[in-house]
């Protein structure tokens, strides 16, 4: 899961979940492929568990006599260039896993097959709403949601209890009240942080921007217009600053959640809350094993009590290269993985399913169940073919946050500069 939560969509960050046959499960997929040949499948390291792929590959071959699955696990490091080369060639793999912010870029290059006519075959009615747009480009569908992950608020249950907090916050006002109570109880310790919040955690920022009615950018045909200077976006940025100011966070204002790794900071025992992913508790527990039992989670609160804030969904899509020599069999393979049978297995492994609304398999995990609940109000970044340039380069959102939080720029100056930079990148 690390890949899509650490850096998310186009650059490198965390992985998380999926689900065959228009909601009826994966078994018994009828063969529409030729009765001979090979289906080459590229999935990414850390995605589907080996137990799942062993079973699904065998099932596919059993239901498609004469067709063999050539299954290859790819590494995230260097995958952008490897995919670029393979998809432009005459003999690409037949099924590929692509980061959800990379999908529009490849679709715009005409190297992915148009799957618009097959959405219903891929359990389309069950797709996670926040991921649907990430597989679309110019009004057509090129990617099938495979799995997703999103952030939540990880907290110390024992500290909440000692501070007299009897219920987890369900609104931003209650969240601020909890911070005040934690500071009142533990603030005498100069190392204590009620909330660890780095200055450049723009993934967390998106929740506050969206919750206030703002957005990064608005689409206009194939182009985008940055909207960080809108009233809603500014309100979300202001709330981010309020959290930084009142929480006592000692996180750097010029770095993100990976510098230093926030899970390691939480593992030090002086942090009551941070915005992160379930897997980060296990990372923290390497420093202090007791944190596994002491940690809980709640969805990022929204302004309205009882309504969670929208969350950024990072994850992957399944796609079929336009030059695939066996597209019929490839569609059957995607149909199998996007069905309820294998989506449920992915959820049981701790992922948020991309093509199934059934997240009951995550209920056994207190942290995973909260993530799944929050994912229903999830969104993706603008589906621009050039979004990867935002994440991999001089990210205007990070620059904006640091400039505003440090007082180097007013919010009007910071957002105007960020909008101008984004317009150059994705406009």
What's the CATH fold of domain 2-150+313-379?
D-Maltodextrin-Binding Protein; domain 2 (3.40.190)
- Consecutive H or E run containing 156: strand 152-156
Amino acid 36: pLDDT: 66
Amino acid 113: pLDDT: 98
Q: Are strands 378-379 and 311-312 parallel, antiparallel or unpaired?
A: parallel
Q: Which residues of 304-336 are buried (b: 16+ CB within 10 A; e: fewer)?
A: eeeebbbbbbbbbbbbbbbbbbbbbbbbbbbbb
List C-alpha distances in Å: 346 to 1, 16, 70, 360.
Answer: 12, 8, 21, 11
How far is the C-alpha of 377 from the C-alpha of 310, rounded, in Å? 5
Each domain of the chain, given as residue ranges in start order, spans 2-150+313-379, 152-303+393-426
Model-level pTM? 0.90
Q: Which residues of the chain have pLDDT under 70?
A: 1-36
Query: Is 3.50.50.60 the CATH number for 152-303+393-426?
Result: no
Amino acid 35: pLDDT: 52
DSSP state for residue 250 in the 8-state scheme: -
pLDDT tens for 380-427 read 999 999 998 998 889 999 999 999 999 999 999 999 999 999 999 998
How far is the C-alpha of 73 from the C-alpha of 302, rounded, in Å? 39
Amino acid 26: pLDDT: 35
Amino acid 247: pLDDT: 97
Nearest one of 24, 97, 37, 40 to 64, comparing CA atoms: 37
How far is the C-alpha of 35 from the C-alpha of 33, rounded, in Å? 6
Amino acid 405: pLDDT: 98
């Amino acid at each position: 899961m690390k890949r899509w939560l650490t850096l998310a969509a186009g650059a490198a960050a965390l992985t998380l979940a999926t689900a065959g046959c228009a909601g009826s499960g994966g078994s018994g997929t009828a063969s529409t492929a030729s009765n001979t040949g090979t289906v080459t499948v590229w999935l990414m390291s850390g995605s589907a568990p080996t137990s799942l792929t062993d079973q699904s590959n065998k099932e596919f071959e059993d239901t498609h006599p004469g067709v063999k699955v050539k299954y290859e696990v790819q590494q995230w490091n260097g995958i952008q260039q490897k995919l670029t080369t393979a998809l432009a060639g005459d003999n690409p793999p037949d099924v590929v896993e692509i980061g959800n912010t990379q999908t529009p870029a490849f679709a715009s290059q005409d190297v992915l097959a148009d799957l618009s006519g097959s959405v219903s075959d891929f359990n389309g009615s069950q797709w996670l709403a926040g991921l649907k747009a990430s597989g679309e480009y110019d009004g057509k569908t090129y990617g099938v949601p495979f799995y997703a992950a999103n952030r939540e608020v990880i907290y110390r249950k024992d500290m909440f209890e000692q501070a007299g907090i009897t219920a987890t916050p369900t609104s931003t006002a209650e969240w601020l009240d909890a911070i005040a109570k934690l500071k009142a109880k533990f603030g005498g310790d100069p190392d204590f942080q009620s909330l660890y919040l780095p200055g450049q955690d723009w993934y967390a920022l998106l929740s506050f921007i969206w919750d206030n009615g703002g957005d990064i950018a608005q689409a206009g045909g194939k182009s985008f217009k940055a909207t960080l200077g809108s009233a809603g976006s500014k309100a979300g940025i202001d709330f981010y600053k309020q959290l930084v100011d009142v929480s006592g966070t000692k996180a750097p204002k010029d770095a993100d959640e990976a510098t230093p790794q926030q899970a390691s900071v939480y593992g030090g025992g002086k942090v009551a809350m941070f915005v992160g992913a379930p897997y980060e508790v296990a990372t923290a527990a390497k420093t202090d094993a007791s944190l596994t039992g002491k940690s809980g989670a709640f969805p990022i609160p929204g302004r309205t009590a009882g309504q969670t804030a929208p969350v950024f969904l990072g994850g992957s899509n399944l796609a079929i290269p336009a030059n695939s020599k066996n597209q019929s069999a490839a569609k059957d393979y995607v149909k199998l993985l996007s069905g309820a049978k294998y989506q449920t297995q992915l959820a049981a492994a701790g992922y948020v399913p991309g093509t199934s609304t059934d997240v009951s398999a995550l209920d056994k995990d207190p942290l995973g169940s909260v993530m799944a609940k929050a994912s229903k109000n999830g969104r993706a970044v603008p589906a621009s073919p050039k979004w990867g340039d935002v994440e991999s380069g001089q990210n205007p959102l990070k620059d904006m946050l640091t400039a505003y939080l440090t007082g180097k720029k007013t919010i009007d100056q910071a957002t105007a500069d960020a909008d101008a930079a984004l317009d150059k990148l994705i406009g």
